[in-house]
């Protein structure tokens, strides 16, 4: 609730009048209303960080006397009387610069290439990074790992040299959420013969005690059992095996 | 207002797989992906047939284990739905004691029964009444007699929400 007890604010996005919940960000409200704002570092499941600047929009207010400014919509909370433009010339130009720079950073990323192409950029106007991987430094992996509570991933170094890594490999529980959540598939993960390989480490997977299917790393299972307070016996079988057993239990109970 | 629920009566199941096909088609629009069904029917030992899908537990293990609040109850349908806060840690798929939440590697997402947002296709295509979407269960002597059926071994109550 806002100071005056209201739970919504009346605002405008691209000429549309919208009642937005207090505390929400411009990005959330726009998307909830079917207005697309592109983003790279935003993930609804983790805290917003404002790293990529692709989500920048233009804002003004009736009493700003024509004065406007660009803000990162994934961080900026909605306000009464806010007037937002998600497609002004400045906004589009900002997106072009962000994507042009990203394309120089990760020339081989299909995701970025496709996004850039939408804004008419097919080749970067900057110097391409040498030996580039596909990491765009959105830090979603860092925040995902934090949300899980493992805190294994960090950003190291500074400026253009900055990169993400796992400084303390013992903290990594091998759950793979970082790799699966990465928007540009920059974190390699493989699973073969019951061994998961991620961040240059091999995790021997725990197998379903009945079917033998690999279900997760021992570290992952221990971590989630502890965090949730659920007994470890909840984490001993594959979903497929459990489902079948549930079906059998239901049948047994029914038939007496 | 009385609300519709999914009534599951496993002994009526004939394992025809209509529910599985309907489920995967509704959720993927791809009839070639039967593996993505959220409901499963089985022919078990001694030729016993049975069907199972998410029980939408009151105190759900998947919800408890989820670090981001990505599993949310829809007050309208009673179903627990996976929202876009999911970070793909797969904890829920291991924790569910009934095996009713899965990882779909093709679309890289967590999938579970959402009762088709209040119009479950499985029930529509079930020819025997093993799955029924209604306000009340179909009267059934066998079920009436068997009081046990309402309290499953895991202190879970039928019908499915
Ligand atoms: S995989 Fe997604 S829905 Fe499941 S526990 Fe992890 S964050 Fe929650
Ligand atoms: S999505 Fe807002 S700064 Fe990246």
- Residue among A28, A246, A252 nearest B113 (CA): A246
Q: Are B66 and B92 in contact, with CB atoms under 8 Å apart?
A: yes
- Partnered with residue A57 across adjacent β-strands are A71
Question: How confident is the model at residue A122, as a pLDDT?
Answer: 95
Whether A24 contacts chain B with CB within 8 A:
no
Whose tokens are 């549930």? That residue is: A246
CA count, 13 A, side-chain hemisphere, A151: 1
CB-nearest to A230 from B65, B83, B153 is B65
Q: What is the per-residue burial (b if ≥16 Cβ within 10 Å, else e) of A88-98?
A: eeebeebbebb
Question: How confident is the model at residue A249, as a pLDDT?
Answer: 85
Q: ipTM value, please give it.
A: 0.90
Phi, psi of B49 (to 5 degrees): -100, 150
Which residue minimizes the CA distance to atom 4 of ligand 1? B92
Whether B131 contacts chain A with CB within 8 A:
no
For B17, the 3-state DSSP assignment is coil
Question: Domain B4-159 classified CATH 3.30.465.10?
Answer: no
Q: How far apart are CA A50 and CA A58, in angstroms?
A: 15
Q: Is the pLDDT of residue A254 over 70?
A: no
Mean pLDDT of chain A: 94
Q: To probe the interface with B, which of A45, A138, A209 has the most B CB atoms within 10 Å?
A: A45
Q: pLDDT grade, residue A250 (50/70/90)?
A: confident
Question: How confident is the model at residue B78, as a pLDDT?
Answer: 84
* A123 CA from centroid of ligand 1 (Å): 37
Question: How confident is the model at residue A2, as a pLDDT?
Answer: 53
Domains of chain A: 8-87 (3.10.20.740), 139-188 (3.30.70), 205-256 (no CATH)
Q: pLDDT grade, residue A72 (50/70/90)?
A: very high
Most ligand 1 atoms within 8 A of CB, residue of B54, B67, B108 to mutate: B67
Query: What residues flank ligand 1, with Cβ below 6 Å?
Result: B 65-68, 70-71, 82, 86-92, 110
Contact B88/A180, CB-based, under 8 Å?
yes
Q: How far apart are CA B154 and CA B78, in angstroms?
A: 20
Q: How far apart are CA A51 and CA A141, in angstroms?
A: 13
Q: What is the pLDDT of residues A90-110, one digit of tens each?
A: 999 999 999 999 999 999 999
Which residue minimizes the CA distance to atom 7 of ligand 1? B86
Residue A72: its H or E element: strand A69-72
Q: Is the pLDDT of residue A36 over 60?
A: yes
Question: How confident is the model at residue A1, as a pLDDT?
Answer: 53
Mean pLDDT of A62-89: 96
Contact A230/B96, CB-based, under 8 Å?
no
Q: What is the per-residue burial (b if ≥16 Cβ within 10 Å, else e) of A114-134?
A: ebbeebebeebeeeeeeeebb
Q: How far apart are CA A37 and CA A129, in angstroms?
A: 27
Question: How confident is the model at residue B148, as a pLDDT?
Answer: 35
Whether A253 contacts chain B with CB within 8 A:
yes
What does the block give as tokens for A151?
């805190």
Contact B87/A147, CB-based, under 8 Å?
yes
Distance from CA of B108 to the nearest CA of A (A): 7
Whose tokens are 């960090």? That residue is: A154
Contact A175/B11, CB-based, under 8 Å?
no
Q: Are A12 and A84 in contact, with CB atoms under 8 Å apart?
A: yes
Q: pLDDT grade, residue A233 (50/70/90)?
A: confident
Whose tokens are 């990074």? That residue is: A129
Q: How far apart are CA B122 and CA B131, in angstroms?
A: 7
Whose tokens are 């806002």? That residue is: A2
Check residues A94 and A234 and name the one with the higher pLDDT: A94
Question: How confident is the model at residue A104, as a pLDDT?
Answer: 96
Q: What is the pLDDT of residues A79-89, one digit of tens each?
A: 999 999 999 99
* A178 CA from centroid of ligand 1 (Å): 12
- Residue among A105, A123, A110 nearest A163 (CA): A105
Q: Is the pLDDT of residue A181 over 80?
A: yes
Question: How confident is the model at residue A58, as a pLDDT?
Answer: 98
* CB < 8 Å to B50, chain A: 247-248, 250-251
Q: How far apart are CA A60 and CA A62, in angstroms?
A: 7
Mean pLDDT of A190-201: 95
Contact B61/A228, CB-based, under 8 Å?
yes
Whether B83 contacts chain A with CB within 8 A:
yes
Q: How far apart are CA B38 and CA B160, in angstroms?
A: 14
Which atom from ligand 1 is nearest to the alpha carbon of B90? Answer: 1
Question: How confident is the model at residue B151, as a pLDDT?
Answer: 35
Low-confidence ranges of chain B (pLDDT < 70): 1-2, 31-35, 141-161
Query: Which residues are CB-neighbours of B58 under 8 A, at least 6 positions away?
Result: none
Q: How far apart are CA B27 and CA B111, in angstroms?
A: 9
Distance from CA of B43 to the nearest CA of A (A): 9
* A136 CA from centroid of ligand 2 (Å): 12
CA angle A241, A246, A247 (to 5 degrees): 100
Query: Which residues are CB-neighbours of A158 under 8 A, at least 6 positions away?
Result: none
Question: How confident is the model at residue A51, as a pLDDT?
Answer: 93
Q: How far apart are CA A232 and CA A230, in angstroms?
A: 6
Question: How confident is the model at residue B160, as a pLDDT?
Answer: 44
Q: What is the pLDDT of residues A9-29, one digit of tens each?
A: 999 999 999 999 999 999 999
Q: Is the pLDDT of residue A252 over 90?
A: no
Query: Which residues are CB-neighbours of A110 under 8 A, at least 6 positions away?
Result: none
Check residues B120 and A1 and name the one with the higher pLDDT: B120
Cis bond before residue B159 (omega within 30° of 0): yes
Q: How far apart are CA B22 and CA A13, in angstroms?
A: 40
């Amino acid at each position: 609730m806002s100071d005056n007890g209201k739970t919504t604010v009346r605002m405008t996005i691209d000429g549309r009048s919208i009642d937005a919940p207090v505390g929400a960000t411009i990005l959330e409200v726009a998307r909830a209303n079917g207005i697309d704002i592109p983003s790279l570092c935003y993930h609804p499941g983790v805290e917003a960080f404002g790293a990529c600047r692709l989500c920048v929009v233009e804002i003004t207010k009736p009493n700003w006397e024509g004065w406007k400014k660009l803000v990162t919509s994934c961080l900026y909370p909605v306000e009464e009387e806010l007037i937002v433009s998600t497609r002004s010339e400045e906004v589009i130009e900002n997106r072009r610069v962000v994507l042009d720079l990203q394309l120089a950073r990760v020339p081989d990323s299909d995701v970025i290439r496709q996004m850039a192409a939408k804004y008419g950029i097919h080749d970067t106007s900057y110097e391409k990074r040498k030996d580039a991987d596909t990491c765009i430094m959105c830090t979603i992996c860092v925040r995902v790992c934090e949300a899980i509570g493992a805190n294994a991933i960090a950003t190291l170094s500074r400026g253009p040299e900055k990169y993400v890594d796992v400084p303390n490999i013992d903290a990594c529980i091998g759950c793979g959420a970082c790799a699966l959540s990465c928007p540009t598939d920059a974190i390699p993960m493989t699973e073969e013969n019951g061994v998961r390989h991620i961040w240059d480490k091999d995790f021997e997977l725990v197998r379903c005690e009945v079917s033998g299917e690999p279900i997760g790393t021992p570290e992952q299972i221990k971590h989630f059992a502890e965090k949730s307070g659920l007994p470890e016996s909840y984490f001993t079988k594959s979903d497929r095996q459990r489902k079948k057993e549930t079906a059998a239990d239901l049948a047994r109970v029914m038939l007496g | 207002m009385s609300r519709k629920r999914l009534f599951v009566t496993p002994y009526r199941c004939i394992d025809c797989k209509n529910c599985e096909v309907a489920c995967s088609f509704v959720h993927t629009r791809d009839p070639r992906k039967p593996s993505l069904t959220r409901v499963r029917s089985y022919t078990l030992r001694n030729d016993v047939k049975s069907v199972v899908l998410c029980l939408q537990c009151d105190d759900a293990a998947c919800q408890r284990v989820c670090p981001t609040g990505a599993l949310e109850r829809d007050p309208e349908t009673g179903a627990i739905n996976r929202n876009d806060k999911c970070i793909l840690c797969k904890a829920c798929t291991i924790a569910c004691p009934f095996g009713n939440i899965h990882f779909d590697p093709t679309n890289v997402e967590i999938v579970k029964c959402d009762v088709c947002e209040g119009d479950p296709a499985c029930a529509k295509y079930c020819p025997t009444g093993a799955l029924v979407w209604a306000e009340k269960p179909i009267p059934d002597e066998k079920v009436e007699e068997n009081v046990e059926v309402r309290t499953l071994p895991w202190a879970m109550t039928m019908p499915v929400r």
